Amino acid sequence: MSGTPTRVRLRPGPVALCAVLLCCWCGWASGFHRATTQAAVTWGCSLAAVVVVDLLLWRGRHGRRPGLRLEAAIEPWLQSVRRGRRMVVGVAPWLVLFVVVLAWEVLGIDTGRHQAHLTISALAEAFRPLNAAMLLAWMLVGLGYGVARARTPAAPGSSGAQRGAAHAGVMVSHVPATVPALLLPSNRALGVAFWLAVPAAGALVEVAARRSGGRLATAEELVRLVTAPLAGNVVVVLAWAYAGYHLFGN
């Protein structure tokens, strides 16, 4: 059935209610340890909720019903920076943050039997509040992906219509490491502090990008840039789904 999809109007009351319900869900679901039926079911429900919302946003983007329609974004950065040095500079802060996180994860895997595992999956399993925060962050990333794709601006020259709308005991390595801990400290508190600093750093990069006058890419613009090619879109979706399964379902 074709027709005009529902236009989304963000109002403080409903947004606050949805945020509270989402936080409550993540807090409750975080009580189940991985590799259990309960953990798999709650992760599956979280995945289904994100997929449903993203599907409604996709349908709204294409003018289908039922669907949720968002206003197209204005992209001063993506429209003016397509290649070359300016593009590299625009995404550089996000690349630096990604490399730091990737390095921490790789070094955190290579730990000895009696050392704290400082990867995000091990720390989230050991500390329930961090597990809840990670589930919330994972769901928000999935929803943010749907919003970024749904707000892709219409091509220049087109009509105004939108186109395209376990337990702490698992904190040890399964395989003995040849180099103990490498460059990471054997301290869970520092590991938790690092992972709490990651979203804070991301927020600072986002603020800097919004105040850069188009010189830096915002997170939304970065998502649209990376997912514009079909291969990039598939890789991002699969990586997000696998990360959720690894963190919360397996």
* Alpha carbons 166 and 89: distance in angstroms, whole number: 42
How large is the average pLDDT for residues 202-221? 91
How large is the average pLDDT for residues 77-88? 68
pLDDT at 24 over 50: yes
Q: Report residue 1 as tokens.
A: 């059935």
Position 141 confidence tier, pLDDT thresholds 50, 70, 90: very high
Specify the range with the lowest mean pLDDT, choosing from 63-77, 117-131, 162-176, 209-223: 162-176
* Alpha carbons 28 and 32: distance in angstroms, whole number: 8
How large is the average pLDDT for residues 218-243? 92
How large is the average pLDDT for residues 119-143? 92
Separation of CA 173 from chain center:
26
pLDDT at 72 over 60: yes
Backbone angles phi, psi at 86, to 5 degrees: -65, -35
Task: Give CA angle at 130 (125, 136), nearest 5°.
Answer: 110
pLDDT at 204: 96
* Alpha carbons 184 and 205: distance in angstroms, whole number: 24
pLDDT at 180: 47
> Most confidently modeled of 88-92, 238-242, 246-250?
238-242
pLDDT at 10: 64
Q: Report residue 44 as tokens.
A: 């599956």
How large is the average pLDDT for residues 229-240? 94
* Alpha carbons 142 and 131: distance in angstroms, whole number: 17
Question: What predicted TM-score, i.e. pTM, was given to this entire model?
Answer: 0.77
pLDDT at 177 over 60: no
* Alpha carbons 67 and 94: distance in angstroms, whole number: 31
- Residue by residue, what is the 3-state secondary structure of 150-201? HCCCCCCCCCCCCCCCCCHHHCCCCCCCCCCCCCCCCCHHHHHHHHHHHHHH
pLDDT at 112: 67
* Alpha carbons 244 and 74: distance in angstroms, whole number: 31
* Alpha carbons 99 and 88: distance in angstroms, whole number: 15
Cis peptide upstream of residue 66 (ω within 30 degrees of 0): yes
How large is the average pLDDT for residues 212-232? 90
Task: Please give the C-alpha separations between residue 9 and each of 17, 68, 69, 208, in angstroms, as whole numbers.
Answer: 14, 10, 9, 27
Separation of CA 104 from chain center:
18
Position 47 confidence tier, pLDDT thresholds 50, 70, 90: very high
Which has more confidence, 36 or 11? 36
Domain borders along the chain are 11-249
Position 173 confidence tier, pLDDT thresholds 50, 70, 90: very low
